[in-house]
Amino acid sequence: MLAHSDNELLTRVGPGTPMGTLFRRFWQPVSLSSRIAGPDGPPSRLRILGENLIAFRDSNGDVGVLQALCPHRRTQLFWGRNEEGGLRCAYHGWKFDVTGQCVDMPTEPPESNYKDRLRTIGYPVVERGGFVWVYMGPRDKEPGFPEYEWLDLPESQRMVFTGLQESNYLQALEGDVDTAHVSYLHRYLHPETAPRPAVFNRGYRDFVGQDVSPRLSVKRTDYGFLYGGRRTLDDGTYYWRCTPWMAPAATYLPTTGDLGQALIRVPIDDSYTLSAGLIWSRTGALPEGPDTTRRVRPVDPGPTRLAGGHVIDLPRGATNLDNDYLIDRAAEQDKFVGIQGGTNAEDRAVTESMGDLDRSQEHLASATSPSSPCVAACSPCCASWTRAPSPRPRGVRSSSGCAAGTSCPSRATSSCCSRRTPTTCSWARRPPRPAEQTPARPTTTPIARQRRRAPLRCLVPHAHVPSRGARRRPGRQPEVSDPC
């Protein structure tokens, strides 16, 4: 739960807002490269961080991203002609190059040099990794380009996609770093007959239903944080789902084998989000699966009219709030939720239907384990928690990494990370659960009838990491190991 003022602080992204300023200090993927037509092709309408923009590819193939309105009389440059090295406004013919410089002003007398002194807003652009990236912050604060490992892979090894998320960016991001929900929202009740996606595959289908109460560990990093959700499988081994979060709104999702999946959430404005994502293979061509082929089907390129009247050339999801995400109750014999359209539609349904979420109205709970209130809420200050020896007294954090008096964002556990005052945490006073080593599992759902699976093995070196020595010994609390 957040105070209303904190909620406002975190979710408003327009020009001049604190979060809008923060996002503007990072390079943002604002479009697929393939969505910007070839040289002198039609321009494409964008809306990023509350600003309406126009993107076009000039005669040389360079991409420009400019303010959407012509600086002359403020009409839409979208109506203009993209020709001979610039975008020419439809109204009086003024023309702008990819940097925003006015290069022709035909309605002025030949002796006028006004065009040389006029430029519209044009942002620095980089095309890499299948995306068009834009930096919208102060020029003297331009950061280095984020060198993600997948940026320069051949196209055969990656699949990029963008989508419209009809919610604030933070609602989407909260889902990306919420491991508990995959045991329900995305769960197949009969994993042995469920579709076998290429990316998520075995762990995702077979394991997430065996333990629906994952234990979280969080580690602060220089790029954001890394967290692991540990599930105890029926055979006593652990299944870790690990997710790095990279500021301001990028995550790597748990995957299988040599594959990776990333999601970058880019605020369109306070109510809409551009989801830029990709799946990549580190060593060879992408394997085929329902998740790696579905998104490459041709889709309606839009346009989409947003609630505020702004038009963007980004398609709305085929399943959306207006058609109840095509929920099929009969399908709930096989899936926990009958929403159609895959995991993306399931994620969108639960977040988009929240409306303009005010987190002061939420009722957050531990949700995952006795340790999670502190670990999850105090993630910035519990950097070394996962390295602490175990068993540990409940409520006592690691001996380093949590400075005494550190302010915790959760008022309910405001002092749980202070070494001097560990017992003031309400959770700290809670006695250990006798059955903690064997978390209760549902016994009445179809999941309880699932067959036991083979022992866990390392599925993905970079994302799914089983605990070293995690197999249980009778009568002894398993050690909590560093997940990654």
Q: Which residues form the interface with ligand FES (CB under 6 A)?
A: 70, 72-73, 75, 89, 91-94
Minimum distance from residue 46 beta carbon to ligand FES (Å) = 19
Minimum distance from residue 20 beta carbon to ligand FES (Å) = 27
Picked from Fe ion, ligand FES, none, the partner binding residue 89 (CB below 5 to 8 A depending on kind) is ligand FES
The residue among 186 and 230 lying less far from Fe ion, judged by its C-beta, is 186
Distance CA 71, CA 65 (A): 14
Picked from ligand FES, Fe ion, none, the partner binding residue 347 (CB below 5 to 8 A depending on kind) is Fe ion
The residue among 89 and 159 lying less far from ligand FES, judged by its C-beta, is 89
The one-letter amino acid code at 90 reads: A
The residue among 65 and 408 lying less far from ligand FES, judged by its C-beta, is 65
State both tokens at 68.
């959407």
State both tokens at 6.
């904190």
Picked from ligand FES, Fe ion, none, the partner binding residue 426 (CB below 5 to 8 A depending on kind) is none
The residue among 63 and 170 lying less far from Fe ion, judged by its C-beta, is 170
176 near Fe ion (CB under 5 A): no
Judged by CB under 5 A, the stretch of 92-100, 200-208, 260-268, 340-348 that binds Fe ion is 340-348
The one-letter amino acid code at 56 reads: F
List the one residue out of 464, 445, 452 whose CA is nearest residue 192: 452
Provide the Cα torsion 161, 165, 168, 174; round to 10°: -70
The residue among 88 and 205 lying less far from ligand FES, judged by its C-beta, is 88
- Residue 117: CB atoms within 10 A of its CB come to 8
Minimum distance from residue 341 beta carbon to Fe ion (Å) = 12
Judged by CB under 5 A, the stretch of 27-35, 306-314, 339-347, 421-429 that binds Fe ion is 339-347
Question: What angle separates helix 169-176 from helix 4-11, to the nearest 10 degrees?
Answer: 90
Instruction: Judge contact between 439 and 455, C-beta under 8 A.
Output: no
Instruction: Judge contact between 422 and 416, C-beta under 8 A.
Output: yes
97 near Fe ion (CB under 5 A): no
The one-letter amino acid code at 379 reads: S
Picked from Fe ion, ligand FES, none, the partner binding residue 446 (CB below 5 to 8 A depending on kind) is none
Minimum distance from residue 113 beta carbon to ligand FES (Å) = 17
What's the distance, Cα to Cα, between the start and end of the chain in Å? Answer: 29
Provide the Cα torsion 69, 75, 79, 82; round to 10°: -50
Using the 8-state DSSP alphabet, how is residue 5 labeled?
H
CB closest to Fe ion, residue no: 347
Of the residues 51, 58, 313, 347, which one makes contact with Fe ion according to CB under 5 A: 347
Minimum distance from residue 92 beta carbon to ligand FES (Å) = 3
Count of helices and strands (H, E) across the chain: 7, 20
**Helix ranges restricted to H, 71-124:** none
DSSP H or E segment with residue 157: none
Q: With contacts defined by CB under 5 A, how many residues of the chain interact with Fe ion?
A: 1
**Helix ranges restricted to H, 208-294:** 290-293
Minimum distance from residue 206 beta carbon to Fe ion (Å) = 17
The residue among 66 and 132 lying less far from ligand FES, judged by its C-beta, is 66
The one-letter amino acid code at 420 reads: R
For residue 466, count CB atoms less than 10 angstroms from its CB and return exposed for 0-12, middle for 13-18, buried for 19 or more: buried
70 to 90, 164, 245: CA distances (angstroms): 9, 26, 38
State both tokens at 95.
């023309």
The residue among 81 and 462 lying less far from ligand FES, judged by its C-beta, is 81
Minimum distance from residue 105 beta carbon to ligand FES (Å) = 8
State both tokens at 93.
């013919």
Picked from Fe ion, ligand FES, none, the partner binding residue 70 (CB below 5 to 8 A depending on kind) is ligand FES
The residue among 93 and 124 lying less far from ligand FES, judged by its C-beta, is 93
Minimum distance from residue 343 beta carbon to Fe ion (Å) = 6
Picked from Fe ion, ligand FES, none, the partner binding residue 91 (CB below 5 to 8 A depending on kind) is ligand FES
Judged by CB under 5 A, the stretch of 110-118, 231-239, 347-355, 469-477 that binds Fe ion is 347-355
State both tokens at 265.
């959430």
Picked from Fe ion, ligand FES, none, the partner binding residue 73 (CB below 5 to 8 A depending on kind) is ligand FES
The residue among 70 and 279 lying less far from ligand FES, judged by its C-beta, is 70
The residue among 75 and 99 lying less far from ligand FES, judged by its C-beta, is 75
Minimum distance from residue 138 beta carbon to ligand FES (Å) = 27
Picked from Fe ion, ligand FES, none, the partner binding residue 75 (CB below 5 to 8 A depending on kind) is ligand FES
List, in order, residues 6 or more apart from 405 with CB less than 8 Å away.
Answer: 415, 418, 420
Residues that bind Fe ion (CB under 5 A): 347
